[in-house]
Structure 1
Amino acid sequence: MSATAARPATARPVRKPKKASYGSRAERRFAFLFVLPAVLLVLVFRIIPLIWGFFISLTDWSGLGEAEFIGIDNYAAMARDPNFQDSMVNTFVLLATLPVWIMLPMLLAILIHQGVPGGKLFRAVYFFPAVLSSVIVGSIFNVVLRFDGSFNALLGMVGIDAVDWLGNSSTALFSLIGVQLWATFGMSLLIFLAGLSTVSKEMLEAARLDGAKLWQIWIFVVIPSLRPIIEFVAVVTTIGVLTNMFGLIYVLTAGGPGTATTLPEFLIWLEQGRLNRPGYAAAISMVLFAFMGGIAYLQIRIMSRNANI
């Protein structure tokens, strides 16, 4: 045996895996410059006002002079405030109608996607109210829904007595919800239409070959495929109905009759603008922020759990 053959083979050194390369330092700095404006906007207009609002909520301050630190007194007063309690009851009633805010645009999107005659026209008509400001929408329905308005006139033609839609505490909130739904569901409709265009055609064809009926295809194939879209619309709609109804409330009912249509966002304006209590208004804002965050978190957790079943 030769010396070369007898020499034991040396093991090759194990190379460490290379770290993922994210570009040179100069490239990373250049990329950060693109992100910096968005970070500054969020910091200046979101984070800092949120921190400042929390500080104000712990004070008794009129907006002028020196603020007096009072701890959680504003939050304790909120728990005893009947106006705040009524606004939260109205909020839960509003949240109970959320399935309608999701199902209505989804069903209309399905019908339009099926190719009904005039589908493009319907798409434009349904979306048109979404481009109108809440003040314009409120002014229109202030005329339509008043006691001597056109809607009651239409009901009278079929023998139904007139209803004070905006002046009756039992109908005012639901009238307000109906107007807001009419004004905003067009955006959700477009989102669902975009989602329908991504449904796998192979799955649809396989379901047809297996003999599935049309309603079975939509329930067992299409709607499950739209789960991410439904989740997105649910979260966005929840945040929207809790924070974007001030204009309608101000124009249509001013929170009345009594507190029948008062929501926390409108109560914040009343406490700040009418009663000049920015500390108490900030406390309501903090509670509303925490409430919206909690609702959105629960929605995401529940939907994620259902997705894993």
Structure 2
Amino acid sequence: MRLMRYGARDGAKTPVVLDAAGQARDVSSLVADFTPETIETLRQTLDGVDLEGLPLFEAQGQRIAAPVSQPRNIWGIGLNYSDHAAEAGMQVPTEPILFNKASRSYCGPNDPLFYSKGMTKLDWEVELGVVIGRTALNVSRDEALDYVLGYCVVNDVSERAWQAERGGQWVKGKSFPNFCPTGPVLVTGDELGDAGKLSLWTDINDERLQDGTTEKMVFDVATIISYMSEFIQLEPGDLICTGTPPGVGMGFKPPRYLNPGDRVRLGVEGLGEQEQVVERLSES
């Protein structure tokens, strides 16, 4: 299945499933929304449904929302690409590095990136996002993918000065509003195939700066889920951002960071692409 949602950020959303022709079919008569509360029974609800018998959704001009409503938790995995660790001048981790992103960082795939006062090192990170489909606690690596609802594109936006120079944990530089554009589509694993062999990329103002592959992940999706579930109860709808390949702004010499007006385009093979414009935040 390929799931999407449309609607204003703070308004009602319309859940759709893309049919074989890529047309959006309104499934709101079957499920009110794709939420942490409806995810566990989603397959039971939608399996076997004749999508062509459902109404088409007129998506033209509509805002694309994140493909699942607000997750209870947003998790990140740091330095999870061997070539990105080398770019950062850091050793490849022996265990996954975990951090959080605040809930309000979550937004639609094409929403603006906010540039706030005090920001000096605003950076991009294309990532494979994993959405949990059912409660996971102490699951084995062999079973871990059974707990995945699907995969999506994520931009793990980071303010590097806040992340590394302000005396706190990474969450400080990862959590500003709109620092987690997600979507446009959530693709279930049976349709996507092997998540460990996907290309992913980022263009800044039409210049390709990230061009990587999930084959370079230090810890694959199954390992990440199993590892996290030792310490954390993963909940339906939880989003895991699995790390980024090289080509982030801080990796250049000299570093390159985003400024108001810059345009960011990024994508993951089979999962579509996002586009954001950096917008100066009006502040008193």
Does TM, normalized by the shorter one, top 0.5?
no
Higher strand share: 2
Could you state the TM-score of these two structures normalised by the residue count of structure 1? 0.24
Larger radius of gyration: 1
Higher helix share: 1
